[in-house]
Structure 1
Amino acid sequence: MGEFEAIRPYADAEVCPVLERLLADDAFLSTLTRYRFPRLAGPLGWLLKPVIAHYLRREIQGVDSVTALQGKIEPYVDRSIEHASDGISYSGLEQLQKGRPYLFLSNHRDIVMDPAFVNYALYHAGLPTPRLAIGDNLLQKPFVSDLMRLNKCFIVHRSLTGRREKLAAFQTLSAYINHSIRSEGESIWIAQAEGRAKDGDDRTDSAILKMFHMSRKDEEFASTLRDLHLVPISISYEYDPCDQAKARELYIRATTGSYSKAQGEDDASIALGITGYKGRVHIGFNPEVLAPDADAKQLAQRIDQAILGNYRLFPVNYLAYAMWDGRDPQLQVPTASELFDSTELARAEGEWQRRLDACPTEQRPYLIMQYANPVRNQYRSRAGLL
């Protein structure tokens, strides 16, 4: 495992020492104090931090493995997930074989909640949770890196700028993913493309698929992908807590040609993504790709058809599509009133209007696009127009 030392998740033997390090980390305890007691953290932080450390030490007593730690925090994660949603549904889990590791490839809308919902579905189905890919741009503080690696996360080096360094990093990442699935029998989750689909247009980057093959150049591309047991996942949120921020970013990019993140913007997105209202959420596990295409672009298109075809469309998606300038005249898309009952539709109309009212007029086309794109994509997929 030496070659993967810098990116791998922590092993069971490392859990206790890392937990001890976290309990002594002032930045970690300060963050928890501000989250739990936002009004008291400033004047009484010096008093509250030792209390929180004592409480955590008692809570994790006897935790000496990653599985035990996940079992300990799962109820808190579940409450957080369920509190900010109107219900979580999932489909396709019966197609997964117990004992077989998979390469889960999903669309990407939320930094933390995408893999969290996948874990939620698998955990409650009695299946092992996967190792999770996370970009190093989100690990600015040592305690965040520790927390993520304790929770089966491995690091994707996205902040490298040199071509040679990037190539070496992708080679290591490819080797790690193959090693995890083929040698250790541990599943992997990774997003279909780098960065969230802020415009709601979910597309698989063929470069991601080529990366899986980089460390197996002596094998055929299709053979490597077949042995990784690729399973596309469709993650559908009725409402995106970060939709206003995404609309703002898209507007700025469109009008100025670029966008620079403010300091702490990713942290704010993570917090809002976790705590913000999502409405209903559906996690659709598609069938395993048993005979991958030999061409990465063709395979990417096939994965897109699976993810887009299994995306759960809600009333808000049809309401947005009806307002969108990007409607496709070739498609026969029904109206929301044709598909949903009056009570459900009235509730969606009220929430959608609230979001429109909160969005500056010039940014609204980008808010509408986020919710409308999944409709166009799914109906294009059905019509064979992707």
Structure 2
Amino acid sequence: MPIPDCYADIRPYQDDEVAAVLERVSQSDTVHRALLKYRLPMLPHWLRERMLPLARYLLDRQLAGVNTVHDFQMWMEGWIERLLAKTATAVVVRGLDKMTPEQGHLWISNHRDIAMDPTLINYSLYQAGWPTSRIAIGDNLLSHPDIADVMRLNKSFIVRRNITNKREKLTALQQLSGYIRFSLDQHESVWIAQREGRAKNGIDLTDKAVLKMLALHGREHAETFAATLFALRPVPVCIQYEWDPCDLMKARELVARSKYGCYSKEEGEDTRSLLAGIIGQKGTIHVDFGQPLTDDELASAETMAAAIDRQMRHMTEILPVHHAAVRLLQQRFACYPDVDGGDCSRQIQDTLWQRIEGEAQDVQKQVLIGYAMPILLQQGIEQ
């Protein structure tokens, strides 16, 4: 079924738009430079610049048979396989066997990485033989036209965040809510994060404002909150990275906010975080699909948020690096003396400390608290 024109400015690209978009992407030197840097990182910059015509030729050849969104995702799948082979020790996926792929679901996950969270959802679905999902992504990440093109080719739709006028913001949220409902009504799954922005402190909490946004479309049609959310078939998903490639960047931001009360992002910082999350080492990755939420849990935004948070904590796995972080907090900062840090090897402690050794003490401590958070939460301790 064609997507109504009222969603044209936020929806993913459709099959009849693929050829024109790929023509733009294949002619972009920014894309060619990024591919060369990824594939040949040891080459000096001047030599990569001379190889731009070759990169353009090879990309044109690879994209020659790509005519639809599905074709593009199949082409991307090869890149993602190679990426994960380089940056992850393993990807462990659990829980999909409890559901069937015949109908769409609203996947509501925690949010730790800008690009990899939805990528891993779709990778997990594809590997299990499920259809991939449409992806909600903030417009702050689409300031570069090439990134916007690639993301929208990959079934991403736009969440407009940079709106200050209240009336315009409400209109944008109603449009977003309507598009998500339209997608689910067409049996297309949708991924959305449980909150705006990543959980930089390691505490995954669902923002009730996100849930209320999802209900806006139903409210326009005199549906109750419960009836609207039931129609979306929401399922919590927990994503865990053994090692967070952006851990230091997140800790520096949190420390700055604590010291100065605010934090101003540098130009292009979101893009740098996006790229760091993609190419950085992640260790073992866990993707856990939870249980569909029940009628009682969907009674209100409050009960729904609490149910999602319970499942997130239940699915969170305690890893050796979490134990190592507790041990280092106790040894280096005399923090949490009564917390049981469990067992972990000296090697993991040394690896974690080497990661942060050159940082200021408050940044070191914040990184360790982030890694220790699953244990702190399990033992009833929060920041």
TM (norm. structure 1) is 0.90
- The more displaced of 85-94 and 292-301 is 292-301
CA contact 2:325–2:349 (8 Å) conserved in 1? no
**Alpha carbons of structure 1 residues 44 and 327: separation in structure 2 relative to 1, 3 Å:** closer
- Corresponding residue for 2:350? 350
Equivalent of 1:196, from 195, 198, 209?
A: 198
* Residue 318 (structure 1) aligned with residue 320 (structure 2): no
Paired residue secondary structure (1:283):
strand
* Residue 138 (structure 1) aligned with residue 141 (structure 2): yes
- Corresponding residue for 1:86? 89
**Alpha carbons of structure 1 residues 335 and 321: separation in structure 2 relative to 1, 3 Å:** closer
Deviations, residues 23-43 of structure 1 (Å, cap 9, x unaligned): 223443344445455655546
Equivalent of 2:341, from 335, 344, 347?
A: 335
- The more displaced of 24-33 and 252-261 is 24-33
> What is the number of residues matched between the two proteins?
371
CA contact 2:248–2:356 (8 Å) conserved in 1? no
What letter corresponds to residue 202 of structure 1 in structure 2?
D
Paired residue secondary structure (1:306):
helix
CA contact 1:229–1:290 (8 Å) conserved in 2? no
- Corresponding residue for 1:5? 8
**Alpha carbons of structure 1 residues 327 and 306: separation in structure 2 relative to 1, 3 Å:** farther
Q: What aligned pairs does 1:279-298 form with structure 2 within 5 A after superposition?
A: 279-291=283-295, 292-298=297-303
- Corresponding residue for 1:116? 119
Q: What aligned pairs does 1:189-268 form with structure 2 within 5 A after superposition?
A: 189-217=191-219, 218-268=222-272
Paired residue secondary structure (2:283):
coil
Paired residue secondary structure (2:271):
helix
- Corresponding residue for 1:367? 367
**Alpha carbons of structure 1 residues 253 and 79: separation in structure 2 relative to 1, 3 Å:** same
Paired residue secondary structure (1:132):
strand
Q: What 5-or-longer segments of structure 1 have no aligned partner? A: none
- Corresponding residue for 2:107? 104
CA contact 1:311–1:378 (8 Å) conserved in 2? no
Query: Whole-Å Cα distance in 1 between the matches of residues 94 and 47 of structure 2?
Result: 48
Query: Whole-Å Cα distance in 2 between the matches of residues 376 and 220 of structure 1?
Result: 37
Query: Whole-Å Cα distance in 1 between the matches of residues 363 and 380 of structure 2?
Result: 26
Query: Whole-Å Cα distance in 2 between the matches of residues 309 and 44 of structure 1?
Result: 47
Query: Whole-Å Cα distance in 1 between the matches of residues 323 and 155 of structure 2?
Result: 37
Deviations, residues 34-92 of structure 1 (Å, cap 9, x unaligned): 545565554663x5333222211111122111111111221111111221111110110
What letter corresponds to residue 12 of structure 1 in structure 2?
D
Sequence identity of aligned pairs in percent?
Answer: 39
Return the offset for 1:293: 2.9
**Alpha carbons of structure 1 residues 175 and 256: separation in structure 2 relative to 1, 3 Å:** same
CA contact 2:93–2:124 (8 Å) conserved in 1? yes
CA contact 1:238–1:279 (8 Å) conserved in 2? yes
What letter corresponds to residue 25 of structure 2 in structure 1?
L
Query: Whole-Å Cα distance in 1 between the matches of residues 81 and 360 of structure 2?
Result: 34
CA contact 1:81–1:274 (8 Å) conserved in 2? no
Provide the alpha-carbon RMSD of the alignment. 2.1
- Corresponding residue for 2:31? 28
CA contact 1:33–1:41 (8 Å) conserved in 2? no
**Alpha carbons of structure 1 residues 165 and 302: separation in structure 2 relative to 1, 3 Å:** same
Paired residue secondary structure (2:266):
coil
**Alpha carbons of structure 1 residues 284 and 314: separation in structure 2 relative to 1, 3 Å:** same
Return the offset for 1:379: 4.3
What letter corresponds to residue 238 of structure 1 in structure 2?
E
CA contact 1:328–1:376 (8 Å) conserved in 2? no
Paired residue secondary structure (2:92):
strand
CA contact 1:156–1:173 (8 Å) conserved in 2? yes
Q: What aligned pairs does 1:146-225 form with structure 2 within 5 A after superposition?
A: 146-182=149-185, 184-217=186-219, 218-225=222-229
Query: Whole-Å Cα distance in 1 between the matches of residues 377 and 362 of structure 2?
Result: 24
Return the offset for 1:365: 2.1
Query: Whole-Å Cα distance in 2 between the matches of residues 25 and 93 of structure 1?
Result: 38
Paired residue secondary structure (1:161):
coil
Return the offset for 1:147: 0.5
